[in-house]
C-alpha cells in the first residue's frame, strides 16, 4: 500500500510540474526569440537545491551494493533530465526552475524509497531536526516591516 501511495504522489507531483510547464511550451513557438530567456538563469536552481530537499539528509548512511547502484542510476537519470531542461530554449527561466525543482523532489523521493526502513527512520529524524532548527531560527528573527 505504501508503494501505491508513493506512486500516486509521485505521479501527482510530476503532473503538477508539467502542468506549469505546458502553457509555456504551447506558446513558445509563437514567441519571438528575444522573449525567450537563456538557460543560464536556471542554472543556480539546478545546483542549489539545498534549501528544501538537501541531499545531506542521506549523508553518512551505509549503503549496500544494490542500493548504491540504484542511487547512482537515479542520480544519472535525474542529471540527464535536468540537463535537457537547462538546454531547452523554448522554456522560460521560471518554467525551467519549476521543472528542475520537480526533478529534484522526484530524485529525493526515489532515493528515499531505495533505503531500508532503518535508514528511512534515520533520514526522517534528520529531517525533523532540520525543520525544528529552521523553525527556531525563524522564531528568533524580528518580524519584517
Cell digits of residue 3: 508503494
Q: What's residue 44's pLDDT?
A: 33
The number of folded domains in the chain is: 1
Q: Which range is least confidently modeled, 53-62, 111-120, 128-137? A: 53-62
Percentage of the chain beyond pLDDT 90 is 48
Residue 34 lies in a domain: yes
Residue 110 lies in a domain: yes
Q: Quick: pLDDT tens for 83-101.
A: 999 999 999 999 999 999 9
* Of 27 and 132, more confident: 132
Radius of gyration of the chain (CA): 18
Residue that is written with C-alpha cell 547512482 in the block:
72
d(CA 41, CA 92): 9
Residue 113 lies in a domain: yes
Question: 126: buried, middle or exposed (CB in 10 Å: 19+, 13-18, 0-12)?
Answer: middle
Label residue 40 by pLDDT band (50, 70, 90).
very low
Residue 124 lies in a domain: yes
Q: What's residue 34's pLDDT?
A: 35
Q: What's residue 9's pLDDT?
A: 63
Residue 24 lies in a domain: yes
Q: What's residue 50's pLDDT?
A: 39
Residue 145 lies in a domain: no
Residue 55 lies in a domain: yes
Domain that holds residue 44: 2-140
Amino acid at each position: 500500500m505504501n508503494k501505491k501511495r508513493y506512486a500516486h504522489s509521485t505521479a501527482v507531483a510530476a503532473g503538477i510540474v508539467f502542468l506549469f510547464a505546458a502553457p509555456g511550451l504551447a506558446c513558445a513557438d509563437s514567441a519571438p526569440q528575444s522573449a525567450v530567456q537563456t538557460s543560464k538563469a536556471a542554472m543556480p536552481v539546478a545546483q542549489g537545491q539545498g534549501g528544501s530537499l538537501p541531499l545531506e539528509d542521506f549523508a553518512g548512511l551505509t549503503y549496500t551494493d544494490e542500493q548504491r547502484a540504484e542511487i547512482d542510476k537515479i542520480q544519472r537519470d535525474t542529471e540527464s533530465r535536468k540537463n535537457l531542461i537547462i538546454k531547452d530554449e523554448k522554456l522560460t527561466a521560471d518554467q525551467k526552475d519549476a521543472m528542475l525543482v520537480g526533478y529534484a523532489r522526484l530524485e529525493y523521493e526515489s532515493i528515499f524509497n531505495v533505503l531500508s526502513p532503518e535508514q528511512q527512520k534515520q533520514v526522517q529524524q534528520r529531517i525533523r531536526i532540520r525543520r525544528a532548527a529552521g523553525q527556531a531560527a525563524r522564531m528568533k528573527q524580528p518580524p519584517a516591516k
